[in-house]
Amino acid sequence: MASSKVEDFVKNWGGKQEPSIGERIKNAFKPQQPLRYRLVMANYRLRTMVSRLDVYISRLQERDRMLFEKVVEAQMSKDTARAAMYANEIAEIRKISKQLITTQIALEQVQLRLETITELGDVFNSLIPVLGVIREL
């Protein structure tokens, strides 16, 4: 029973074993990539999302700085209504920026976990021959 789980893992990880007739029929209707490939692709997509979020966060921080300068100018010219308007916009920008940073951190955590799983799978896959030798003893 344990050996079939190991074989299933190896098959899903590297996709190197020859599929059975039933699996070939199933795969004809639903082709599926090896698990390692899917993990690497998910990690790549996460990396691109994190970098896009980084760009958005930078834009928002730049807009925050620009509006803060306008608040200072409005306060200096005693235009309190305009200063309040800019300050409210800055508050909204900071809320959105905080949410984006939280999202970015969560995506980075998922990315790290996927990298860990990929490395662990590689290690396990390289230990499969050793398990065969141990079973023979």
For 125, phi and psi rounded to 5 degrees? Answer: -65, -35
Report yes or no on 12 lying in a domain.
no
Report yes or no on 6 lying in a domain.
no
Report yes or no on 68 lying in a domain.
yes
pTM for this predicted structure? 0.71
Q: Which two tokens stand for residue 83?
A: 């200063």
When pLDDT is cut at 50, 70 and 90, the band that residue 31 belongs to is low
Domain that holds residue 93: 17-136
pLDDT value for 21:
76
Q: Average pLDDT for residues 43-53, to the nearest whole number? A: 97
Alpha helix (H) residue ranges in the chain: 2-14, 21-29, 35-76, 80-136
Report yes or no on 1 lying in a domain.
no
Number of domains in the chain: 1
Residue bearing the bigger pLDDT, 49 or 20: 49
